[in-house]
Every structure is written in structure tokens, then in C-alpha cells.
Amino acid sequence: MRPDKRQAILRGALSVFARDGYSRASIDGIAKEAEVSTRTLYNHFADKADLFRHVIQTSANEAAQDQIHLIERHFHKITDLEQDLVEFGKAMGAQLGHAEHFALVRQINAELTHIPAEAIEAWLDTGPHKVRKALAGELEKLGFRDPKRAAIHLLVLTLTGDPAIRGSRPDDDDIAAGVKVFLHGHDVENRRTAAT
Amino acid sequence: MRPDKRQAILRGALSVFARDGYSRASIDGIAKEAEVSTRTLYNHFADKADLFRHVIQTSANEAAQDQIHLIERHFHKITDLEQDLVEFGKAMGAQLGHAEHFALVRQINAELTHIPAEAIEAWLDTGPHKVRKALAGELEKLGFRDPKRAAIHLLVLTLTGDPAIRGSRPDDDDIAAGVKVFLHGHDVENRRTAAT
DNA sequence: CATTAAGTACCACGAGCGTTGTACTTTGGC
DNA sequence: GCCAAAGTACAACGCTCGTGGTACTTAATG
């Protein structure tokens, strides 16, 4: 069982599941996208549901890792908090541009009642919750009270374009405005600058 | 073509589409849920896609109307802004409990690439955007600068529980914290109270 | 009551899909 | 270069589904 084939399958399945969702996606389509025969697909994964679970896990893991790197990079060289948070927001927004993963997140949200609770838990733990924990940790270091909620607030204020459409990207003005609201809303003791 | 049957179909279809999504939902299942024969269903709606469009429109319309009523009711008797916004947030959160509509919204988000753009536009206009406009209008009356963004911020700060799971309900503490951040973030000239 | 529009029960079709089996080919380690 | 393991091509199964047809029943109107 060659691991390159397995990776190709996972990547192809991510594409197709993200675009079409679980039920609309067909095994044949995934196999074609991955340039693999359906038989090898079934050699690597027990069935469609099993493949879906692995795709979710893999994608969540990669995205979380990328985002955590972004967090570390941006929070280790804070000079002007507001300006740096805006930069951070823009960088996270650019991540959103890497659309496949977030389309998959939309599919997961739609399928919530059809995915076993334990798979959801696993996804949350290795994905979004891990990211939020990392962000909350950085905010705590900066002196934010209630860092867990602050992390959520920062994310929704800077990553939400049109709240009706998940994953719609805010423009730079939206991000700047969101950061401002966030900073005025969460008072910090050791804020270094409050300028602009 | 009796209109009670049409309504029954729309209600049943809402249930099934909300739970299963477009492709997983079956016409037979919808007909059974609506206690109607599939043939009458096809007598009222051209095909599955047509039915889906009507379900989206109807549900968005009803939900928007309910929410706009909520907005009017809460914003016409403002005495303590913070406390009243918390009450408003709780009332909106309770709306979220009426789960079928918001499950449908998740399905729409998942199907974004498979729904014709004009249908999305129509949905946004009669649904979420109308609600936001109403909310922004009230906030403007209260003296908020940038009321459009304020409306978005208020909604995401008070209606978001776990951002990873759309429609997850925040608890009362979350709502109170969200309102506080919102009010500190958006400075108002004629704020009446800033207590608690 | 009669007529007519609307609804129902049921069948049938064609297509797509998940999944498996089989016989053949490729590939990587000895 | 050989052999076992992995991959491929392809056919076939059983099932579900969207959709339309047809003959029968219900219900409302004059």
C-alpha cells in the first residue's frame, strides 16, 4: 500500500468533498480526481464514510498547523498592538483564500447531524479548538483578561465578512474596524500603543 | 391546486432539506413527511431544484420577519442600553433554537457553488440582509457611527457560540460579554447608561 | 347530483452510485 | 531479473432516486 497513492486520494477527496459535499461526491469522481483506480481507493479506506473522516482529520490538521504558525509568527514581534493585529487579521484572511479547506468546513457544518459525534469531537480538537487555544495563549501573555473569549471575539470580528455566508472574506477596512472594536472592547493593562 | 397542500409540501421539504441537505433529501421522503403523494408534489413544483428554491425563499422570509419583529420590539423601549441589548441577544439566541431554518442556512452555505447566483442573491436580500438593514437602522437612531458594521459586529458578538459550529448557541454569559465588548468598541454619543 | 379539478396509489424507466470480484499489469526490493 | 505486493481496468450486483404515466378516488362548485 503505497503512501503516495494514499496522499493523492486524500487530496483528490478533499477537492471533491469540499466542492460537492458528502452525498453528492462520488467515489468514481474522487478516484478520477486522484488519478487512481477505485479499487486502490478501497484498498486504503474501508468505505466512503471512512475516507470522509480521514479527509476531515487531515485537512483540519494541516489548516490548524498553518494557522498556528501564523499566530506564532505574528505575536512574537508585537510592537504596535493595533497595527500588528490588523496584519494578523489580513494574514488569516489570506488563509481563508486557500478555499478548499473552508469549503470542507461548510460541508461538515451541513452534515453535522450525519457525522458521528466522536468524529466531530476529534475534528474540533485537532482543528479549530487547537487554534483558538494557541491564540488565547498569546492573548493571555499580552495581558488580556478572559483570553478564551477574547480569542473568539478577535476571530469573529476580523474574519467575518458577510455573516450569512461562511468564509466570505472581509476587506481590509473591515479588518481594521474589527481590530479597533476588539481592542476597545477588551481592555488590556500593558497595551503599548493605542494610536492611529 | 389546493394551497394547503402546497404549504404542507413546503413545511415537509423544509424539515427534510434542513436535516439532509439537497442531494441526500429524497422526493419520496419529502412527500411522506408532508403526507402528500409525489405526484401532487410535482404538480406544485417543477422539479427538486424548483422546490428547493421555494423552500429557501419561504423560510428566509419567515425567519427574517420574525427577527425584524424582535428587533422592533426590543429597540423601541430602550432604557438601559447594555441590559436591553443583552435581552435582545438572548431573544435572538432563542430564535436560533428554532433550529430548522438555521440548519437550512447551513445547507445553503454548503451548496453555495451548486445554487445559481441569482437564487443566492434573492435569498440574501429577503433574508439576512434585510434583517441587518433593520438592525442597522435602529443602531443609527441610537447614535452609532458606522451602523452597518455595528450591526454585523453586534450579531457576531452575541450570536456566535463556537465559531467552528454554525448555529451553536452562546450561553447568557457569552451574550453579556459580547454586548460589553460591542458597547466599548462602538462609542456612542447619546449612550444613556453605561452601568453594571 | 353531476362535473371537474385536484389528489392518490402504483408502476416503470433509466440513470447513477457504492461496493466487490477477477484477471491483468506495474513496481520496488532482493 | 524475479517475486510478491500494490495498482489498474472492467464488469456486475443491488439499491436508490428523480421523474413521468395511468387509472382511480376525493372534494368543491354550480
- Average of per-residue pLDDT values in chain B: 94
Closest nucleotide over all strands to B45 (CA to C1'): D19
For residues B127 and B134, what is the distance between their CA atoms, to the nearest angstrom?
A: 11
Bases along strand C below 7 A from a protein CB: 5-11, 16-23, 28
For residues B55 and B63, what is the distance between their CA atoms, to the nearest angstrom?
A: 12
Question: Do A109 and B166 lie within an 8 Å CB cutoff?
Answer: yes
In angstroms, how far is the first alpha carbon of chain B from the final one? 58
Interface test with B, best of A26, A149, A172 (most B CBs within 10 A): A149
Kindly list the distances between the CA atom of residue A51 and the CA atoms of A1, A62, B167, in Å, as whole numbers in the listed order. 15, 17, 26
Considering only the top CATH level, what class is B53-185? mainly alpha
- Per-residue pLDDT at B146 exceeds 90: yes
pLDDT computed for residue B98 by the predictor = 82
Kindly list the distances between the CA atom of residue A144 and the CA atoms of A67, A192, B146, B154, in Å, as whole numbers in the listed order. 20, 13, 26, 21
Of B106, B149, B162, the CB nearest to A110: B106
> Could you tell me the maximum CA-CA distance found in chain A, to the nearest angstrom?
61
Q: How far is B29 from chain A (nearest CA, A)?
A: 16
What are the backbone angles phi and psi of residue A155, rounded to the nearest 5°? -65, -50
Query: What 3-state class would DSSP assign to B195?
Result: coil
For residues A177 and A67, what is the distance between their CA atoms, to the nearest angstrom?
A: 22
Any idea which fold A55-185 has? Tetracycline Repressor; domain 2 (1.10.357)
Interface test with A, best of B112, B149, B152 (most A CBs within 10 A): B152
| Closest C-alpha among B77, B68, B90 to residue B142 | B77
Find residue B144's DSSP bridge partners. Answer: B188
Give me the residue spans of the domains in chain A.
1-45, 55-185
In this prediction, the residues of chain A whose per-residue pLDDT falls under 70 are 97, 189-196
Give distance CA A39 / C1' C24 (Å): 14
- Does residue B155 sit at the A interface (CB-CB below 8 Å)? yes
Query: What 3-state class would DSSP assign to A23?
Result: helix
A11 CB contacts (<8 Å, ≥6 apart)? A34
- Does residue A190 sit at the B interface (CB-CB below 8 Å)? no
Chain B 105-124, residues with CB within 8 Å of chain A CB atoms: 105-107, 109-114, 124
Looking at residues B51-69, what average pLDDT do you find?
97
For residues B63 and B92, what is the distance between their CA atoms, to the nearest angstrom?
A: 11
Query: What 3-state class would DSSP assign to A165?
Result: coil
What's the one-letter identity of residue B172?
Answer: D
Residues A49-58 have pLDDT tens digits of: 999 999 999 9
Please report how the helices A147-159 and A128-141 are oriented relative to each other, as an axis angle in degrees rounded to 10.
Answer: 110
Give distance CA A142 / C1' C19 (Å): 55
Residues B91-144 have pLDDT tens digits of: 999 987 688 999 999 999 999 999 999 999 999 999 999 999 999 999 999 999
Interface test with B, best of A156, A158, A159, A188 (most B CBs within 10 A): A156
- Per-residue pLDDT at B6 exceeds 60: yes
Closest nucleotide over all strands to B31 (CA to C1'): C8
Answer yes or no: is A1 CB < 7 A from strand C.
no
Angle at A154 between CA A81 and CA A94, to 5 degrees: 85
Question: Do B149 and A174 lie within an 8 Å CB cutoff?
Answer: yes
List the single residue in A with minimal CA-CA distance to B130.
A164
Residues B13-30 have pLDDT tens digits of: 999 999 999 999 999 999
Percentage above 70 pLDDT, chain B: 95
CA atoms within 13 A on the CB side of B105: 23
| Closest C-alpha among A151, A174, A21, A7 to residue B151 | A174
Answer yes or no: is B40 CB < 7 A from strand D.
no
Indicate the length of chain B as a whole number. Answer: 196
- Per-residue pLDDT at B180 exceeds 70: yes
Tell me which residue has cell 468546513. Answer: A105
- Per-residue burial over A84-111, b if 16 or more Cβ lie within 10 Å, else e, is bbbebbbebbebeeeebbbbbbbbbbbb
Any idea which fold B1-45 has? Arc Repressor Mutant, subunit A (1.10.10)
Tell me which residue has cell 439576512. Answer: B128
